[in-house]
Chain A
Amino acid sequence: MGLLPYLNTHALDEDYALAAERRTASPEGTGSARRRRFGRRSAVVLAVFALLAMTAAVQTSRASDSEESGRRALIEQVKVRRATVAEQRTAIEALVQENRRLENDLLRSTGAARAVLDQRDLLRLRSGTSVATGPGVEVVVDDALAAEDDRNKVLDSDLQKLVNGLWRAGAEAISINGERLTVLSAIRHAGSAITVNYTSLSRPYRILAIGDPATLPRRFAATTSGQAWLDLQGEVGLLFSMRTRDFLRLPAADLPTLRHVVRSDPAASKEEGDS
């Protein structure tokens, strides 16, 4: 007989049948008649059963309760800590700004320091590490319409020419698509994109140049780069437009820190240059 049919047929303990048989076999029936009803012993056993079941249920619900409350407490803690972190961040920011302000105040309090600070600001402006504002021109260049190969696309060399021309025409600060040109900037191809300051640009290219709006376009057109771009426009159909702007705001460049350049005082470097 298979296990399942056996289980089904023997679901009732055979002892009940055996006990009943024994009862019918033995003639005296007074004692056994009492045993056929649920007696006190059965009641006690049933009470134990109910107690067991209730205990298991209580245990399970209590366990799930404590788990749930634990999770909620953790979430609460995470929230509180996050708020603390955010608070401390804003505090840090405020302190840093306060520090900078105090430092500037301190330096500005003496005349010599003020001159140094002014020089620093000027150098930062010139080297492109601080925001520059002023009038100038906005140049937008783009690939030719329906450009298929490199011939009628804007290349890094085209942008280099354009920027060189602008410098020669008297531009004082230049940025390409928000990347400020500095002493360490390179315009080059990396893969299919042109990168400036190690940042990939996407067309169209928007070049902002601060300079005299009255003379800049004319002087640019007179440079060889301007001539080259005129050719590019005519021959391969690159798009080029230049507009003067009364106010431009060029962002500061985010320069990598110098790691190999050693700072040396001017006198020492002069000696080295002489030798």
Chain B
Amino acid sequence: MIAIIGLLIGVVIGLVLQPDVPIGLEPYLPIAVVAALDAVFGALRAFLDGLFDDKVFVVSFISNVFIAALIVFLGDKLGVGAQLSTGVIVVLGIRIFANVAAIRRHIFHA
């Protein structure tokens, strides 16, 4: 319940304030969102598995976002930003799919 309230609060704040992202951080935002999505789905799966841990979720979320942004930053500096972003998206995408599959098994028992 408190999780859904948190989500809603975030959505409302985002819609109301419509914060401006500094130009320098703009390229990292989409990849950070994907990384965060991975952490959220991982947490949901762990919750359904009965393995959920508050602290692990917070740490994994922050580290995921940070590492994703760092990889893109490094890639930009090395001139392979687009390729590295693609790599990160692919890996995170596979993880998200695997986690969603597990969640689906929990919910539908299929």
A8 to B91, CA, bound (A): 10
**Closest CB-CB distance, A43 to chain B, in whole Å?**
3
Contact A12 B10 (CB under 8 A): no
Q: How many interface residues does B have (CB within 8 Å)?
A: 50
Chief secondary structure at chain B's binding surface: helix
A176 to B19, CA, bound (A): 77
**Closest CB-CB distance, B28 to chain A, in whole Å?**
10
Most B C-beta atoms less than 10 A away, residue of A41, A45, A54: A45
- Write out the residue numbers on chain B whose beta carbons fall within 8 Å of the beta carbon of A48: 10, 36, 61
**Closest CB-CB distance, B8 to chain A, in whole Å?**
8
**Closest CB-CB distance, B6 to chain A, in whole Å?**
3
Judge whether A46 is part of the interface by a CB distance below 8 angstroms.
yes
Judge whether A203 is part of the interface by a CB distance below 8 angstroms.
no
**Closest CB-CB distance, B52 to chain A, in whole Å?**
6
- Write out the residue numbers on chain A whose beta carbons fall within 8 Å of the beta carbon of B47: 38
A142 to B46, CA, bound (A): 94
Contact B14 A37 (CB under 8 A): no
Pick from A8, A16, A46, A47: contact of B53, CB below 8 A.
A16
A residues within 8 Å of B by Cβ?
4, 7-8, 11-13, 15-17, 19-20, 23, 34-56, 58-59
In the complex, 26 of the A-B residue pairs with CB atoms within 8 angstroms, ordered by the A residue number, are A7-B94, A11-B94, A12-B46, A13-B60, A15-B60, A16-B53, A19-B51, A19-B53, A36-B50, A36-B53, A36-B54, A38-B2, A41-B55, A41-B58, A42-B43, A43-B9, A47-B7, A47-B10, A50-B11, A51-B19, A52-B32, A53-B33, A56-B29, A58-B15, A59-B21, A59-B26
- Closest 9 pairs (CB-CB, A-B): A54-B14, A50-B10, A43-B6, A11-B98, A47-B10, A46-B6, A38-B3, A19-B53, A16-B46
